[in-house]
Amino acid sequence: MNLDYIIPNDWSILEEGFDPENIKASESLFSIGNGAMGQRANFEEKYSGPTFQGSYIAGVYYPDKTRVGWWKNGYPEYFAKVLNAPNWIGINIYIEDEVLDLHTCKKIEIFKRELNMKEGWLSRSFIATLQNDIKVEVNTKRFLSLDMDELGAINYSVKPLNSDASITFRPYLDSGITNEDTNWDDKFWDTLNVSHENNQAFIQAKTMKTDFYTCTFMESQVFIDGKSMIIDPNISADANSASFSYNYKVKQNETYTIHKFGGYTVDRNHDKYELVTAAKKVLEKATKAGFSTLLDNQKKAWAKIWDMADITIDGDVKAQQGIRFNIFHLNQTYLGTDARLNIGPKGFTGEKYGGSTYWDTEAYCIPFYMATKDQSVARNLLTYRYKHLQKAIENAEKLGFKNGAALYPMVTMNGEECHNEWEITFEEIHRNGAIAFAIFNYHRYTGDYSYIPEMGLEVLIGIARFWHQRATFSKDKNKYVILGVTGPNEYENNINNNWYTNYIAQWCINYAVENIERVESDFTTDFTRIMNKAKLSKAEIEQWQEVAERMYFPYSEKHNVYLQQDGFLDKELITVADLDQAQRPINQKWSWDRILRSPYIKQADTLQGFYFFEDHFTTEELERHFDFYEPFTVHESSLSPCVHSIQAAKLDRMDQAYTFYLRTSRLDLDDYNHEVHEGLHITSMAGTWMSIVEGFGGMRVKNDMLTFEPKIPQQWDGYSFKVNFRHQILKVIVNQGQTHFELEGHKELQIEVNGKSVMIAPNKLVTV
Amino acid sequence: MNLDYIIPNDWSILEEGFDPENIKASESLFSIGNGAMGQRANFEEKYSGPTFQGSYIAGVYYPDKTRVGWWKNGYPEYFAKVLNAPNWIGINIYIEDEVLDLHTCKKIEIFKRELNMKEGWLSRSFIATLQNDIKVEVNTKRFLSLDMDELGAINYSVKPLNSDASITFRPYLDSGITNEDTNWDDKFWDTLNVSHENNQAFIQAKTMKTDFYTCTFMESQVFIDGKSMIIDPNISADANSASFSYNYKVKQNETYTIHKFGGYTVDRNHDKYELVTAAKKVLEKATKAGFSTLLDNQKKAWAKIWDMADITIDGDVKAQQGIRFNIFHLNQTYLGTDARLNIGPKGFTGEKYGGSTYWDTEAYCIPFYMATKDQSVARNLLTYRYKHLQKAIENAEKLGFKNGAALYPMVTMNGEECHNEWEITFEEIHRNGAIAFAIFNYHRYTGDYSYIPEMGLEVLIGIARFWHQRATFSKDKNKYVILGVTGPNEYENNINNNWYTNYIAQWCINYAVENIERVESDFTTDFTRIMNKAKLSKAEIEQWQEVAERMYFPYSEKHNVYLQQDGFLDKELITVADLDQAQRPINQKWSWDRILRSPYIKQADTLQGFYFFEDHFTTEELERHFDFYEPFTVHESSLSPCVHSIQAAKLDRMDQAYTFYLRTSRLDLDDYNHEVHEGLHITSMAGTWMSIVEGFGGMRVKNDMLTFEPKIPQQWDGYSFKVNFRHQILKVIVNQGQTHFELEGHKELQIEVNGKSVMIAPNKLVTV
């Protein structure tokens, strides 16, 4: 595969020239989505070469029977798989009697693919010479509507260039599809009914086991040189598919075009018996408006998103393309309008990892959504976890905890754990801390305390109970210890006293207690309700506090740093710089035991704690820990470089910060980890956003106030971003030498810049 | 399932009464084998109830594609599966037109099953009333011949008790079989040819992938009231089976009998094109001799084994039955005549765990085979590992080791690793130590040093190199440490400085160096050959020694014991006695993380080291460590109680020793771990033998001399055992109060009893 074949451009992802080696990578990179559904950039027409077909519906999954080598007690029975849904984009093209297939054409010229991020559409154009020597020019454009999130639209044109040709468009629906990522080659879909009516077709299908009912639908219109035509299609249908054939004798240089409208209606939004009716309404509205009006609406909808979420970077096209690519995919994946949904690690671009929700959401995505959307979006994300609290309690019970202790799952779709590696599922328990931290972070940023008495406190109590029970008292140390964990650095398993885990456990207990006290004094009714429900006594709280107060933290007097875990200093401390480059990435070169006994860090672990709890430590302490741990960090997790970028910027190490920034923002575009064909790293894209806003912009919230310490890499002329802070929008423009602030709002906003207080009046440019 | 339904008896395993719940357990317990093949005690006639069918051929396996949840670098592609082989025992019985099937009979009376261990046969008898109201008495007897190890024989009689009946025997061969334990439901056998000739049938089949060629064969004879009959059978054959139907109108109270001879010829012993010819020779010999002569030979062959291997226990039938059951199954599994074979953990009684060779062989089985067989048998077991040295070096290379370092696999069939849990495959490296220890143990017991210059030294060098490279220098401790291991106690994973592992690593290096020096001085030619092959320099040896000399051992000053691993004292040290019984066995009740952070020990770990290196420590040290670790040991490994039994006996804690003895000897008979239906724990059976000979008998070898400290549980009147020591056989008879020795040999033998020297003259009873 060619890395780095994407052409730099401010607003688009561009590929020029047809290279079958890049097909799967481009299918990932050019993926489109609208929060409710999404799909890999598969071709509409037949493609017989290697391809990874994928179209996904938010919240529709399949519980695939767990596959393990050796079963351990407590493993979940099922792994919730992201589910390839019936295909509605397919349009087979017949030129005379030959099917158009880029894998078998004699010649392909001026192939070009564009993902226009500004306007939210995907296009392709090429000239192909078929085996029958007919040369055709093809232009396609496709988008998934933001306005009507059950709808997608395709404009597909074919122009014969060297002769007249009988051309057939054969749009189809197909529910006989498979998943790339299946444990047992199970069939995931049960097709219930295939029907058609006029130019419309519908496939009703439900998922096996989970019984999600869906209707996949389509309707097409055809045109010659832009003029609408009525062509009576040849219809064919079988148990899993329906297709219409629109044949026309196209003259040389005439353009034959099909507009295909399709998509899914699902029983999350409609009664399961009304899915066809709902689909008909969508199609009626779509065909009435027509492709070009729908496209105009699409541009407007994306303009609105960009108006709030865009980050501009001047003088560095690759950096600019990188950040927009990240922001674009985050918005394609999750728009925050439905509290039942969440942000899967691969979004709608692949199937790997399954599930929809990891700690990534709380640790990385929430800051992005808080600052670029209305704060209700972040609240929805918190509410999602509140709704799963009972399941988290049951999950903890399976592992022997009691009395309402909650352990949120490592990976989940419906609140149940669905991961199955003991060292992760049972031991990567720090995830519980991120869920509590997100509540703190939401309150810190939005000032909205109401979430805590309404919902959050119950979550905090369940989590505090978990940590209290999970810690054990070491007589030897005369302290509480936490044994057998995996920290954020997954290159250590089953370790004792992971500093990050112990620290966040202590913090969770203290934060829970602090909020119990505040709710007790300020929200009496809620307090009574919660205490009755949780059956929480003062005595129990005191036991928690005993654990928090006497928590053990491994520390090296010699190095004057907290140790990542017990025994870290027993390792052979050879830095990454001194490691043979041929050995990297170590997760592809080394056996697991070698990784584990090495000092190499997959992702920020101790430093992740310094990131979350920055104001608990001095800058000197940060610097010491950064200098100690960064040299051992291999950043083989997509979640690692952003934190290092932010901390390097804070420590005025701008070259390092810039390098980390490029690595996080172009991780997929430049395919650093050789895996982009499997899908994109969606959740870590929010980390890229953080590395600009929190890293270079130095933005923090302190005492209900935004503070900034703006810095700029020397490679850039300037950059700008906007944040939605407590219902006002602040635009920040950083140039070499000065920073401008502009407030879209109604009342003046006090901020702090480099430690100095600055008052920003609405709608005036303030330069610092 | 009913535990404990086996009727106590000195020489037989007996079951009375038909209980479908016990079928699978009995299929395991009554298994038969002859070292070359073996089978579960499946019924000959059809049985439509739940059953676990299994017939196994030594050395014939299938490399099943690895199944894991999450792949790790270095995992083997395949897991060598014990392979259910074509069925030759099947005889369907038709009474009039109804098939005899104990699952559907109207009534079953006086059902009895016997495994006669003294004579090596399995029998069944019962009276069944079929749905057609015909009542028949059935008697069967079956054995796998020790003399002709490709042959098995069945005697099956039916007598109609309440009417005349048309009875058909339909003996068949069937290669359309499946494995219980398969990862992907692959087909394991490829049937090449089904043929028949007169009363003989042959199925030639080869295993998929591994291409082991086999011929499964049969021939039958029928009798009425003991008189040979010539009945022209109805023959039928298809792609995977062949059957002959012998019909006869049997009068009431007449006995209709079939003798079926069958078995396997395999390409390990014959040219693959000569398997049918070889089978015909076996059948010719068998039918000429006839069932009863073959059975007589079987009795003689077993008498010979028992003459050497028997252990008698007076006054305790259950203990007597237990030890004979263990000795019997060990001999059924492995007779030591073929250096290409080894001792699988389930022998021929089940499929679980796969592979044929674990460290069990070296740590537990070799002492048994050394003392109860000619010493060539133990040498064969050592040679097996020598032949796998190159594969062990390749295995280490896959994990990043170099320069001829060898890591023997955790589980293997052909020398390649076939296990796939990272914490075991990559980290349970102490197995290398057991392989070196077995060489030491062999030399200590037999006095035969020749193995070391001929083969053993190369193995010791590969192992020493591994330990040298695997240890890392801790600047913090100024010692060499061994990070990230799993010790014999598999209830701890990825721990640092497991005392047992560090200790045996140090010992391996020292022992290798000691033997390099001895071979250099005494076996110059071998020395030159080995040094040239291994490219070993004095400088490298000095590096090994540096590691051995500066090895770190975790130690608690407070408790005055070596610690099982770093951080052991951080655990909540609640003893097993104080653990809620409802929580046990913890491996069935607790999630893995909970087991790992608990102090509970699956099997002797530190104490295993004290067992191997007993004379490195004082009895006081042993007692201190036994008192520290025993209270945390849950013995959920079959390999655990025997070591504790030996040490308890040494510490004069005879009640405890006796309890551990019963647990190890009747582990399967009383189904302590609720898993006997999966097969028997063959390798730990050798531990039972050790717990009598080394535990109660107190036998050791010191300075080329046998020493004894005989003790006897108060529950016993006496016990006796024999050991083959350096080509003479010493019988030891221990009664309450005195011990007798009797030497079958040619020259007097000096031994030590309770520290006093005793001279034993040949063929005279000496009482101490």
Reported ipTM: the value is: 0.91
| pLDDT bucket at A1, cuts 50 / 70 / 90 | very low
Evaluate whether B276 touches B282 at the Cβ level (below 8 Å): no
For B145-185, where are the E strands, in sequence order?
Answer: 151-160, 165-174
Distance CA B501, CA B564 (A): 10
Evaluate whether A219 touches A200 at the Cβ level (below 8 Å): yes
Distance CA B100, CA B48 (A): 10
Q: Within chain A, what is the greatest distance between any pair of CA atoms?
A: 89
Question: What's at A369, amino acid-wise?
Answer: Y
Q: DSSP for B606-630?
A: HHHHHHHTGGGS-HHHHHHHHHHHG
The reply, when asked if residue A24 is annotated as ligand binding, is: no
Distance CA B242, CA B221 (A): 16
Q: What residues of A are labeled active site? A: 490
**B453: cis peptide before it, omega within 30°?**
no
Contacts of residue A226, defined as CB under 8 A and 6 or more positions apart, other chains included, come to A255, A257
Which residues of chain A lie closer than 8 angstroms to B573, CB-CB? 475
Q: How far is B71 from chain A, CA to nearest CA, in Å?
A: 10
Evaluate whether B312 touches B320 at the Cβ level (below 8 Å): yes
Evaluate whether B183 touches B79 at the Cβ level (below 8 Å): yes
Q: DSSP for B630-689?
A: GGGB---STTSHHHHHHHHHHTT-HHHHHHHHHHHHTTTTTTTTS-GGG---HHHHHHHH
Question: What's at A595, amino acid-wise?
Answer: I
First to last CA, chain B: 47
Average of per-residue pLDDT across A205-217: 94
Residue labelled with tokens 């969606």: A682
Evaluate whether A205 touches A191 at the Cβ level (below 8 Å): yes
Nearest to B56 by CA among B39, B77, B75: B39
Q: Within chain B, what is the greatest distance between any pair of CA atoms?
A: 89
Distance CA B214, CA B265 (A): 6
| DSSP label of A8 | P
Distance CA B279, CA B264 (A): 7
More confident residue, A77 or B262: B262
Size of interface A-B (CB pairs under 8 A): 137
Nearest-Å Rg of the Cα atoms of chain B is 27
3-state SS, residue A663: helix
Buried b (16+ CB within 10 A) or exposed e, A542-579: eebbebbebbbebeeeebebbbbbbbbbbbebeebeee
Distance CA B162, CA A25 (A): 78
Which residues of chain A lie closer than 8 angstroms to B68, CB-CB? 67-69
Strands A728-735 and B234-238: unpaired
Distance CA B666, CA B474 (A): 46
**B86: cis peptide before it, omega within 30°?**
no
Which residues of chain B lie closer than 8 angstroms to A484, CB-CB? 593, 596-597
Facing residue for B69 by CB, picked from A421, A483, A588: A421
Q: How far is A421 from chain B, CA to nearest CA, in Å?
A: 7
Facing residue for B590 by CB, picked from A73, A473, A475: A73
Buried b (16+ CB within 10 A) or exposed e, A400-425: bbeebbbbbbbbbbbbbbbbbbbbbb
Find the angle CA(A701)-CA(A703)-CA(A705) to the nearest 5 degrees. Answer: 50
Burial class (CB in 10 A: 0-12, 13-18, 19+), B50: exposed
Distance CA B495, CA A596 (A): 10
CA dist B125 → A182, A236, B225 (Å): 49, 66, 17
Taking the whole predicted model, whether its pTM rises above 0.95 is answered as no
Residues contributing to the annotated binding site of B for substrate: 359-360, 602-603
User: Residues for chain B: how many in total?
Assistant: 768
Contact check, Cβ <8 Å, B570/A596: no
Contact check, Cβ <8 Å, A66/B67: no
For residue B80, what pLDDT is reported? 83
Distance CA A632, CA A603 (A): 10
For B401, nearest residue in chain A (alpha carbons): A594
Find the angle CA(B543)-CA(B545)-CA(B551) to the nearest 5 degrees. Answer: 105
Backbone angles phi, psi at B194, to 5 degrees: -120, 125
CA dist B451 → A528, B454, B460, B760 (Å): 79, 5, 12, 29
Q: How far is A692 from chain B, CA to nearest CA, in Å?
A: 34
> Among residues B490, B636, B694, B709, which one is catalytic?
B490
Which residues of chain B lie closer than 8 angstroms to A78, CB-CB? none
pLDDT digits (tens, 9 = 90+) for B294-320: 999 999 999 999 999 999 999 999 999
Contact check, Cβ <8 Å, A69/B421: yes
Best mutation site among A402, A570, A579 for testing chain B: the one with the most B CBs within 10 Å? A570
Residues contributing to the annotated binding site of B: 359-360, 602-603
Contact check, Cβ <8 Å, B571/A472: yes
Whether pLDDT at A185 is above 70: no
Best mutation site among B65, B587, B592 for testing chain A: the one with the most A CBs within 10 Å? B592
Can you give A540-575 as a three-state secondary structure string? Answer: HHHHHHHHHHCECCCEECCCCEECCCCCHHHCCCCC
Question: What's at B378, amino acid-wise?
Answer: A
Whether pLDDT at A393 is above 80: yes
For A240-353, where are the E strands, in sequence order?
Answer: 241-250, 256-266, 312-314
Evaluate whether A80 touches A354 at the Cβ level (below 8 Å): yes
For residue B183, what pLDDT is reported? 66
For A163-279, where are the E strands, in sequence order?
Answer: 165-174, 189-197, 200-207, 213-224, 227-229, 234-237, 241-250, 256-266
Question: What's at B546, amino acid-wise?
Answer: E
Q: Copy the structure tokens of residue B737.
A: 């109060």
Whether pLDDT at A406 is above 50: yes
Cα dihedral sign for A448, A449, A454, A457?
Answer: positive
Buried b (16+ CB within 10 A) or exposed e, B364-377: bbbbbbbbbbbbeb
The reply, when asked if residue A602 is annotated as ligand binding, is: yes
For residue A2, what pLDDT is reported? 47
Distance CA A255, CA B374 (A): 91
Whether pLDDT at A281 is above 80: yes
Contact check, Cβ <8 Å, A570/B483: yes
What is the set of domains in chain B, with CATH numbers?
12-307 (2.70.98.40), 697-768 (2.60.420.10)
For residue A380, what pLDDT is reported? 95
In the beta sheet, which residues pair with residue B36?
Answer: none
In the beta sheet, which residues pair with residue B166?
Answer: B249
Which residues of chain B fall below pLDDT 50? 1-2
Backbone angles phi, psi at A128, to 5 degrees: -120, 140
Facing residue for A484 by CB, picked from B566, B590, B596: B596
Strands A765-767 and A728-735: unpaired
Whether pLDDT at A612 is above 70: yes
For residue B422, what pLDDT is reported? 94
Best mutation site among B81, B186, B417, B494 for testing chain A: the one with the most A CBs within 10 Å? B494
Q: Copy the structure tokens of residue B161.
A: 């008790």
Distance CA B347, CA B327 (A): 13
Q: DSSP for B387-449?
A: HTHHHHHHHHHHTT--TT-----SSBSSSSB----HHHHTT-TTHHHHHHHHHHHHHHHH--T
Evaluate whether B755 touches B744 at the Cβ level (below 8 Å): no
Burial class (CB in 10 A: 0-12, 13-18, 19+), A648: buried
Evaluate whether A191 touches A174 at the Cβ level (below 8 Å): no
CA dist B522 → A118, A431, B147, B516 (Å): 83, 63, 42, 10
Backbone angles phi, psi at A476, to 5 degrees: -60, -40
Q: How far is A353 from chain B, CA to nearest CA, in Å?
A: 10
Distance CA B452, CA B369 (A): 19
